[in-house]
Chains A and B, each alone.
Chain A
Amino acid sequence: MTLVHPYRVAILGATGAVGTELLTLLEQRDFPIADLKLLASARSAGQTLSFKGEPLPIEAVDAKSFKNVDLVLASAGASVSKAWVATAIASGAVFIDNSSAFRMDPTVPLVVPEVNPQAAAAHRGLLANPNCTTILLAVAVYPLHQVQPIRRIVAATYQSASGAGARAMEEVKTQAQAILQGQEPIAELFPYPLAFNLFPHNSKLNEQGYCEEEMKMVNETRKIFGTPNLRVTVTCVRVPVLRAHSEAINLEFDQPFDVTQARNILSKAPGVLLVEDWQANYFPMPIDASGKDEVLVGRIRQDLSHPSGLELWLCGDQIRKGAALNAVQIAELLAQQNLIQPSIALANHSR
């Protein structure tokens, strides 16, 4: 992979779970960096993080933070992204946003590099990183869609605590300890105890009873695949797993899709690791997916209830491929095609 020249990069939200993963990935994948700025809230200003064995100070983000920056990788939440994207683009930076703020904006490319890399070229200074569950689904099923169009997706997610941050993981562990000691678990971050329990994703419900997390998967998948009429329905559930999301996926095609062919395709698909040991009954698990770049896919089988349906099971590290890694891969894609340049048109974003 030959990249043109080193870039001046800023990570917005450097101290969060995704922020620190971005830092690790930039180092491990040797992204060409001329200068790296770590931006966070004032609470962490003056603290340091390590990059390539050297300490880097964390700065409180302000209007001047984006001067002399070519590329911003943002994962500090939707309101922070909304607050700073216009300033960043006006300063000449390209902004890759991991938040949900601009994903459905028609002028903003929503990119999974294995699926729709060509969408990145249309950027006007801002690109969006899809939701973790969407990315994992897209990487796993797009290779099949390329062979025969998927007409319908029914998905059920099993989402881990770390999807809500490092504190959420701590909360589950504390609750588990409490329960094992015969005490009442305390739920602070989540509305209910998550240890030895599960609950439908607690994001806001719409009029039809679907929560935001579920609608993200529906709407983002359609945008990424370029198939606005793709029928998608989802149930998102929080489960007491620490890291890595899992998804049970049902796919419907017009014609039967041969299972062996599907397995073959997925064994060679980019970003996918086929985990199928029928003898040993060994398939994707969160503990195996954690820390891996690939989405683990397995249990591929014929739908018993529909002649042209397929069932499959996937696990993916939602902080890596579901967030930080996908963002870094978008950056690498832009760098390869020399698309990290000051944008000509300013996108109109309201605060």
Chain B
Amino acid sequence: MVTPFKDDGSVDFAIAAKLASHLAANGTDTLVVCGTTGEAPTLTWEEEYELFQVVQQAVAGKAKLIAGAGSNSTQEAIAATRKAAKLGLDGSLQVVPYYNKPPQEGLYQHFKAIAEAEPDLPMMLYNIPGRTGQNMQPETISRLAAIANIVAVKESTGNLDQASEIQRLTPPEFALYSGDDSMTLPLLAIGGRGVVSVASHLVGLQLQQMIQAFEAGQHQVATKIHLELFPLFKALFVTANPIPVKAALKLQGWQVGSTRLPLADASTDLTATLTSVMSRLALL
């Protein structure tokens, strides 16, 4: 979920609660708060903990809540995960340590330590080499899947070969989620569970329709929806997420504010593209 900011740049908790409620009512099963889309790199831990609590209250009973609690420092990730567990959240999202490029064994030890620090809190691994500079290999994911509370991976490599390897090497109850809206349907075809979505801010109900149609065997219906929404999927990643999705929400009248620096506001070109794509999808 995006993190709304006021004009002065501070977090707008009231809008966050409203947006969370709205998303839960329109297709979202679980909200990820303070992930990449939530601008975690530029939030303070204090802002994050308050956001967890505000969103938790807003969606209580209607949607589950996962905390973005990852870091490229194992100690920091453990501390953040402990706080998420204390709040009674439903899980943590743990990104592959970025920038310091640990070797595969280091990745294994990192996630294992976090999992063991809070063995009752389910963990979703997050592999996104485009941002972290390091790909977590399917073998590493497979080793981690053997740990009881490591239950899922959010896969953002865009690589179907890697996804197939992960599926081959992990047990069926280990869930593969798409980290890219445009890859959701292809991944469902190889047993993926769903998507950690950005587009759901705008088309949550249609994404549910697509996933449920696929799971009910109505593949043509699911494909039609995927292809219909595909221009939106691409437009939301034309520049670094969440710049486009915040601009899109603002076009719909949501007061979510700008992104914090160093993320610059959407360019006029991007706004024009979004306006055109969203109009054609009856979203404006």
Contact = CB atoms under 8 A, between A and B. Distances in A.
Interface of A: 15, 20, 23-24, 27-28, 43-44, 46-50, 52-58, 167, 170, 174, 181, 183, 188, 290-291
B25 A43 contact: yes
B26 A27 contact: no
A181 B221 contact: no
Contacts of A55: 203, 206, 228, 281-283
A55 to B, nearest CB: 5
Interface residues of B, number: 33
15 contacts: A20-B208, A20-B212, A24-B216, A43-B22, A44-B25, A44-B26, A47-B26, A48-B203, A48-B206, A48-B282, A50-B229, A56-B282, A174-B64, A188-B61, A290-B216
B235 interface: no
Contact of B282 (A53, A57, A188, A291): A57
- 8 tightest CB-CB pairs across the interface, nearest first? A53-B224, A50-B225, A43-B25, A57-B282, A55-B282, A55-B281, A291-B216, A47-B205
B209 A20 contact: yes
Contacts of A27: 221
A181 B225 contact: no
Given A27-B221, A55-B228, A50 B206 contact: yes
Given A24-B221, A56-B282, 5 more contacts: A15-B205, A28-B218, A53-B225, A174-B64, A188-B61
Interface of B: 22, 25-27, 29, 61-62, 64, 120, 148-149, 203-206, 208-210, 212-213, 216-218, 221, 224-225, 227-229, 252, 281-283
Contacts of B224: 50, 52-53
Contacts of A167: 62
A48 to B, nearest CB: 5
A49 B29 contact: no
A174 B65 CA distance: 13
Given A15-B205, A24-B221, A55-B228, A50 B210 contact: yes
B228 A50 contact: yes
Contact of B228 (A23, A53, A174, A181): A53
B256 to A, nearest CB: 16
A44 B252 contact: no
Nearest to B151: A177
Chain A CB within 10 A, most for which of B208, B228, B252? B228
Contacts of A53: 224-225, 227-228
A47 B204 contact: yes
A20 B209 CA distance: 7
Nearest to A40: B205
Nearest to B25: A43
A228 to B, nearest CB: 38
Chain B CB within 10 A, most for which of A24, A46, A50, A291? A50
Contacts of A28: 218, 221
B209 A50 contact: yes
A53 B227 CA distance: 8
Nearest to A319: B216
Nearest to B281: A55
Nearest to B232: A55
A50 B203 CA distance: 10
Chain A CB within 10 A, most for which of B26, B29, B218, B224? B26
B120 A183 contact: yes
Contacts of A44: 25-26, 205
Nearest to A292: B217
Contacts of A181: 120, 148-149
B120 to A, nearest CB: 7
B120 A58 contact: no
Contacts of B225: 50, 53
A202 to B, nearest CB: 18
Contacts of A57: 282
A23 B22 CA distance: 22
Chain A CB within 10 A, most for which of B61, B225, B282? B282
Contacts of B206: 48-50, 55
Contacts of A47: 26-27, 203-205
A24 B218 CA distance: 9
Nearest to A27: B221
Nearest to A20: B209
A50 B209 CA distance: 8
A43 B26 contact: yes
B148 A46 contact: no
A119 B121 CA distance: 56
B148 A49 contact: no
Contact of A48 (B120, B227, B283): B283
B116 to A, nearest CB: 15
A174 B216 CA distance: 21
Contact of A58 (B64, B205, B227): B205
Contacts of B29: 170
B211 to A, nearest CB: 11
Contacts of B228: 50, 53-55
B193 to A, nearest CB: 11
Nearest to B228: A53
Nearest to A44: B26
A48 B25 contact: no
A54 B282 CA distance: 9
A15 B203 CA distance: 12
B209 A49 contact: yes
